[in-house]
């Protein structure tokens, strides 16, 4: 295994890793960063984020990349695995004073070679609409901070829309904007539209059209990230209170919820077919949640610190051979239409309804693989496979390809799905490995479950967190990264008792099953790939892209996808390396 770094194994930075598909290789010539390649002093700054867009350039080089480092925002032509990055020629570069960019998103519907629409959220609460090709600043939203004064945590264009976008803040609120509307010169007045368990949606009372169109108040504490489903009809929200909440977006209705095993949820993503949601956070776990059953179906343990990003790999997710269960009925065309929102929401929705049917008990097992990845503050990249033995535990298995450590337990669970669903109970028995004992009777299973859950929480979460405490604060790995203001930290500390009480209520229910009640995945790959915390993981067709807090954006070529130009022109490789 090739590696860079010192003699100690813990400091080695991996430059390649192997999966069943082959070898993924780090392309040092395709590294993007600030033009001087100097590592960024990340203390006290917001996470480095990366956005991509394709402008349909006829030259075949239409990919564009945007990333923020500290107060700076860069926009480059992204050459990926094909050619070396030329950092001396950014298309656009912006340096902000008094505030820092925190997140950004391109509108893929309006992107052309002459113009792109880029939304940028800021640490002081504003949102800017810019065109980095024309080098124009179109509009500034929440300029006077009358709508929300807290940090922007996530900004996304509404799928299928050229004008609507959604913004989340560390206050726990989300706002729906229209680029055509102004924000007004006074603070908005709101009228309650819909209210449910720990959420409310308000409309803006105004005689003329103004922003925001809607205000969502979700959970307690910061709303760290949200993600639209592939068909654009549902919205998954990951909050600092540890809850994943999934809403029907247009109707603003709660579909289902899930609670983290410990601490806040920091990131969330959907599978390409919309059947599963993966969330990660301060419990160092990745949690897989079934959209149709509204329940946790697996957890993954491989990270040693907070999980900052989760993402599905649409290129490696596959369904092989055999008669398809109803979950996967529907043509490839339907499947791809779900991924591309602009292909017609009605047709995509009909595909989604077929994909959501739960009828696998009447079908033969097939080979199913969902590949997803995660990166964390432990500087590690993990890749995971979610396979048929986890997805369909009640079916006879053709083979077992996923490492699981689980034990059987009788479950006393409550319903976590808001919509009525007959399949809302955990299976009586779960797949288990031979390495763990199986409970012999219901009485023992309760004792064993408490023991294992307590042991895991104590050893994996409490002790390791205690050992890392001083180092984490020095490297800005802990609360200061999530909450930029000291008042936020004080609020979180003061509400810790309430959080502990709530966690005790939900543990062992369908909101938050005990550790032994669901399969525990082990990562296929778990490699240290940076010296600073990782903040980006994006899967592209011929590579995957990661970024760390020092401001280095790295391209990892998929097996067999290393460009000829990089092989034939070693002189293109810069002297700088990933540090």
Separation of alpha carbons 346 and 50, rounded Å: 31
Residue 455's pLDDT band (cuts 50, 70, 90): very low
What is the tens place of the pLDDT at every residue in 294-307?
999 999 999 999 99
User: Does the pLDDT value for residue 261 go beyond 90?
Assistant: yes
pLDDT at position 231 is: 96
When mean pLDDT is compared over 40-44, 313-317, 440-444, the highest value belongs to 313-317
Angle 234-238-241 from CA coordinates, rounded to 5°: 135
State the CB neighbour count (10 A cutoff) for residue 362. 7
State the CB neighbour count (10 A cutoff) for residue 205. 10
Residue 441's pLDDT band (cuts 50, 70, 90): very low
pLDDT at position 435 is: 30
Separation of alpha carbons 554 and 572, rounded Å: 16
Averaged pLDDT, 391-417: 49
- CB-based contact 290:423 (threshold 8 Å): no
Separation of alpha carbons 212 and 207, rounded Å: 13
pLDDT at position 395 is: 61
pLDDT at position 462 is: 41
Averaged pLDDT, 425-453: 37
Separation of alpha carbons 53 and 55, rounded Å: 6
With tokens 């005990």, the residue in question is: 514
Separation of alpha carbons 200 and 279, rounded Å: 22
Name which residue leads in pLDDT, 449 or 122. Answer: 122
pLDDT at position 499 is: 58
DSSP string across 464-512? HHHHHHHHHHHTT-SHHHH--SHHHHHHHHHTHHHHHHHHHHHBTBTTB
Share of the chain above pLDDT 90, in %: 58
pLDDT at position 459 is: 40
pLDDT at position 27 is: 95
Residue 162's pLDDT band (cuts 50, 70, 90): very high
The pTM score is: 0.76
Name which residue leads in pLDDT, 121 or 426. Answer: 121
Q: Which helix (H) or strand (E) holds 355?
A: helix 345-355
What is the tens place of the pLDDT at every residue in 498-533?
656 666 788 888 999 999 999 999 999 999 999 999
Task: Give me the numbers of helices (H) and strands (E) for the chain, helices first please.
Answer: 9, 35
pLDDT at position 432 is: 35
pLDDT at position 474 is: 39
pLDDT at position 527 is: 96
User: Does the pLDDT value for residue 87 go beyond 80?
Assistant: yes
User: Does the pLDDT value for residue 365 go beyond 50?
Assistant: no
Least confident of 48-52, 136-140, 391-395, 434-438: 434-438
Separation of alpha carbons 109 and 121, rounded Å: 20
**Residue 246 corresponds to which tokens in the numbers above?**
């999934």
User: Does the pLDDT value for residue 473 go beyond 50?
Assistant: no
pLDDT at position 81 is: 92
User: Does the pLDDT value for residue 145 go beyond 80?
Assistant: yes
For the chain, give the mean pLDDT: 78
485: left (phi over 0), alpha (psi -120 to 50) or beta: beta
Counted residue by residue, the chain has a size of 579
Separation of alpha carbons 340 and 295, rounded Å: 26
When mean pLDDT is compared over 239-243, 467-471, 506-510, the highest value belongs to 239-243
Separation of alpha carbons 212 and 481, rounded Å: 27
């Amino acid at each position: 295994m090739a590696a860079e770094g010192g003699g100690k194994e813990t400091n080695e930075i991996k430059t390649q890793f192997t999966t069943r598909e082959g070898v993924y290789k780090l392309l040092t010539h395709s590294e993007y960063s600030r033009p001087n390649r100097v590592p960024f002093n990340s203390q006290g700054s917001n996470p480095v984020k990366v956005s991509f867009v394709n402008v349909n350039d006829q030259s075949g080089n239409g990919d564009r990349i945007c990333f923020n480092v500290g107060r700076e925002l860069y926009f480059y032509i992204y050459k990926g695995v094909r050619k070396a990055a030329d950092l001396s020629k950014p298309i656009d570069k912006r340096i902000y004073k008094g505030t820092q960019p925190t997140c950004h998103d391109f509108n893929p519907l309006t992107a052309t070679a002459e113009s792109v629409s880029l939304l940028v959220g800021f640490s002081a609460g504003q949102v800017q609409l810019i065109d980095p090709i024309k080098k124009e600043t179109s509009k500034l939203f929440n300029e006077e901070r009358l709508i929300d004064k807290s940090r922007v945590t996530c900004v996304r264009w509404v799928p299928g829309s050229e004008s609507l976008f959604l913004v989340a803040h560390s206050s726990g609120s989300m706002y729906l904007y229209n680029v055509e509307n102004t924000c007004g010169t006074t603070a908005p007045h709101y009228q309650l539209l819909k209210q449910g368990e720990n959420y409310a949606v308000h409309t803006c009372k105004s005689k003329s059209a103004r922003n925001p169109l809607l205000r969502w108040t979700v959970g307690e504490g910061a709303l760290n990230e949200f993600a639209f489903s592939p068909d654009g009809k549902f919205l998954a929200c990951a909050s600092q209170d540890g809850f994943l909440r999934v809403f029907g977006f247009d109707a603003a209705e709660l579909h289902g919820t899930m609670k983290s095993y410990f601490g806040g949820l920091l990131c969330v993503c959907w599978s390409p077919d919309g059947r599963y949601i993966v969330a990660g956070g301060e419990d160092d776990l990745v949690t897989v949640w079934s959209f149709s059953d509204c329940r946790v179906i697996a957890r993954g343990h491989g990270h040693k610190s907070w999980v900052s990003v989760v993402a599905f790999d649409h290129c490696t997710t596959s369904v092989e051979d055999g008669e398809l269960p109803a979950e996967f009925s529907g043509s490839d065309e339907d499947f791809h239409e779900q991924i591309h929102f602009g292909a017609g929401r009605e047709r995509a929705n009909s595909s989604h309804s077929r994909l959501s049917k739960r009828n696998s008990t009447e079908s033969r097992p097939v080979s199913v693989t969902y590949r997803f990845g995660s990166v964390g503050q432990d500087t590690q990249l993990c890749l995971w496979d979610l396979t048929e033995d986890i997805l369909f535990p009640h079916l006879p298995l053709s083979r077992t390809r996923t490492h699981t450590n689980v034990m059987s337990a009788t479950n006393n669970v409550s319903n976590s799905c808001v919509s009525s669903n007959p399949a809302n109970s955990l299976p009586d028995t779960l797949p288990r490995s031979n390495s763990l004992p199986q409970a012999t009777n219901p009485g023992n299973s309760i004792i064993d479950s408490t023991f294992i859950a307590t042991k895991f929480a104590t050893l994996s979460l409490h002790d390791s967190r205690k050992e890392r405490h001083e180092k984490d604060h020095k490297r800005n790995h802990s609360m200061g990264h999530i909450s930029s203001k000291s008042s936020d930290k004080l609020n979180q500390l003061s509400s810790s008792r309430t959080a502990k009480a709530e966690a005790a209520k939900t543990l062992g229910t369908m909101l938050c099953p005990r550790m032994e009640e669901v399969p525990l995945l082990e990562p296929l790959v778990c490699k240290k790939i940076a010296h600073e915390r990782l903040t980006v993981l994006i899967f592209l067709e011929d590579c995957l892209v990661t970024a760390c807090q020092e401001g280095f954006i790295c391209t990892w070529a998929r097996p067999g996808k290393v460009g000829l130009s990089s092989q034939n022109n070693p002189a293109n490789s810069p002297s700088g390396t990933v540090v």
